[in-house]
Every structure is written in C-alpha cells, then in structure tokens.
Amino acid sequence: MNDISSRRESSAYPFQLFFVPFPFVCFSLALCTDIAFWQSGNLMWLNFSAWLLFAGLVFGGLAVVAGLLDLLRKRTRPMRSSFLAIILFLVMLVLAFANSLVHAGDGWTAVVPYGLLLSAVTFAVSLMAVTASSRKYARLAWRV
C-alpha cells in the first residue's frame, strides 16, 4: 500500500509546467525579431516583437497563478522548482514587462537600443532560470 501511494505522489504533474515553456519561447523569439528589426528597419518585426512580449507575459502570468496553485498541492512537492528558479522567472517577467513598455514606443526608438538590450537581458535571465530549474529535474530523474 505504501508503494502505491508513493508512486501516485511522485506521478503528480504540476500545473505550472503547462504554461512555463511559453514565456521562454516568446521572449527568445522577441529577441530574434528585435534583431531582425534592427537589421531591416521593417515595422513588421516591431509588431511581432510587441505581440511576442504580450503573449509571453500572459502565459507567464498564467504560470505564476498555476505555480501558486501547485503550492497548495502536496502531490507536486517533489516537482516544485527551486527558490532561485522562481526568483529568476519573476525577474524575467519584470524585465519583459519593462521591455513591453519600451516596445510600445513608435518606430526605431522602440527597439534600438533599449528594446534590443532589454530583450537580450531578458533572454539571458531566461537561460539562467532554465538552468536553475533543470538541475532540480535532473536530480529527480536520477532519484527513481
């Protein structure tokens, strides 16, 4: 009986993991579209960046809400992210929000230089967050 309950607890899937990958993808693509705008000057890339930042922030907000729900679930305790990963994820969202405000400007000055810089810093912080969270999941995978 104890083996069945421990297997059931370890098989719980956190809700936050449904939403967490989207901000990373959106913010990475926002950096790519900022670089494309910087190189071409085509306003289409500016619009893509603004929408990608918006989508990343929406899914990031959903991930935070889902993470708070996961805090209430005992079954997801082994899969919770580390404190460092959570802080880095929140810093990434704050940087992306500031980047979204910069991208709300008009034309060239909405991206170059501050929007591009904020996109690069957001991307760097997202890589740190992924690294911090992947260490815990790698340890859990070897625990089996």
**pTM for this structure?**
0.86
Answer whether 89's CB lies under 8 Å from 20's CB.
yes
Question: Is 33 a domain residue?
Answer: yes
In a domain, 10, yes or no: no
Domain assignment of residue 6, yes or no: no
What integer best gives the mean pLDDT of the chain?
Answer: 88
Please report whether residue 46 resides in a domain.
yes
Torsion over CA of 49, 114, 120 and 133, rounded to 10 degrees?
Answer: -90
Average pLDDT over residues 88-115: 95
On whether residue 1 sits in a domain, the answer given is: no
Q: Is a pLDDT exceeding 90 seen at residue 133?
A: no
**Whole-Å CA distances, 94 to 19, 23, 34, 58:** 17, 12, 18, 12
Confirm whether 72 is domain-assigned.
yes
Q: Is the pLDDT of residue 93 over 70?
A: yes
Indicate the number of domains in the chain.
1
Q: Which domain range does residue 82 map to?
A: 15-143
Q: Is residue 41 part of a domain?
A: yes
Question: What CA–CA distance (Å, rounded) separates 6 from 1?
Answer: 9
For residue 44, tell me if it sits in a domain: yes
Beta carbons within 10 angstroms of residue 115's beta carbon: 29
